[in-house]
Amino acid sequence: MTADPDTSHAAKAALRARNIAARRALSDEEKAACAQNAADFVMRLIEPAEGKVVALYSPIQGEVKVAPLAERLRAAGAKPALPKVADPQVPMHFRLWLEEDPLDKGFGGIREPDVDAPAVVPDVVIVPLSAFDRRGFRVGYGQGHYDRTLGALAREERPLTIGYAFALQEVDEVPRELHDVPLDAVVTERELIRITPRAGGLDGL
């Protein structure tokens, strides 16, 4: 069931604030263990990873760190990428993230690949979030970057979308709006939650 937009926005803002505070309160040891365990689940889901372009993110506000996953991906022959915001009102695009490449501060101070890094279309997108439910719906950060971007990618060849989060970010039900599209899976330090049949068979990915 979809919620009234005003009510939904207020509820999402409350969930966002609560969960960001909770994950920031985790110890460094807890955060490091989560990053390693979550990377394990992703690698199991997308194997064989060789040759796949996997879009990651630059962590902000206490998000699960992606460096351990990037290391695992490179070792498996996959190609990590990062999003780049050219205009906050249009879909993001993705550029390869080579291990030796420096990252520049982009929109909102978030680290992005250099403009000369090769542009790519991801096979898999690791999606940051502030809250999620087991239907695959998520709360982002209110800017709509991923909603616009994933919608645009779906019109071509939709990538596998995997939410990346701490288990404490799970809620019973995310307030849903008409434009919300569920993730294919969510990964935490505790488990892999498959949302769609596609996340089980990968549709030949």
Q: Which pLDDT belongs to residue 203?
A: 47
Asked whether the whole model's pTM tops 0.85, one would answer yes
Spell out the per-residue pLDDT of the chain, length 205, in tens.
Answer: 455 555 678 888 888 999 999 999 999 999 999 999 999 999 999 999 999 999 999 999 999 999 999 999 999 999 999 998 876 777 788 999 987 777 776 666 678 888 788 999 999 999 999 999 999 999 988 566 687 877 677 656 789 999 999 999 999 999 877 677 889 999 999 999 999 776 765 544 5
Q: Which pLDDT belongs to residue 1?
A: 47
Centre a 10 Å sphere on the Cβ of residue 92 and count the other Cβ atoms it contains.
Answer: 22
Q: Which pLDDT belongs to residue 148?
A: 80
Alpha-carbon gap, residue 179 to 25, rounded angstroms: 32
Q: Which pLDDT belongs to residue 48?
A: 95
Of 3.40.50.10420, 1.10.3720.10, 1.10.3130.10, 3.10.580.10, which CATH number belongs to 5-204? 3.40.50.10420
Look-up: residue for tokens 């040891």?
29
Domains in the chain: boundaries: 5-204
Alpha-carbon gap, residue 37 to 52, rounded angstroms: 21
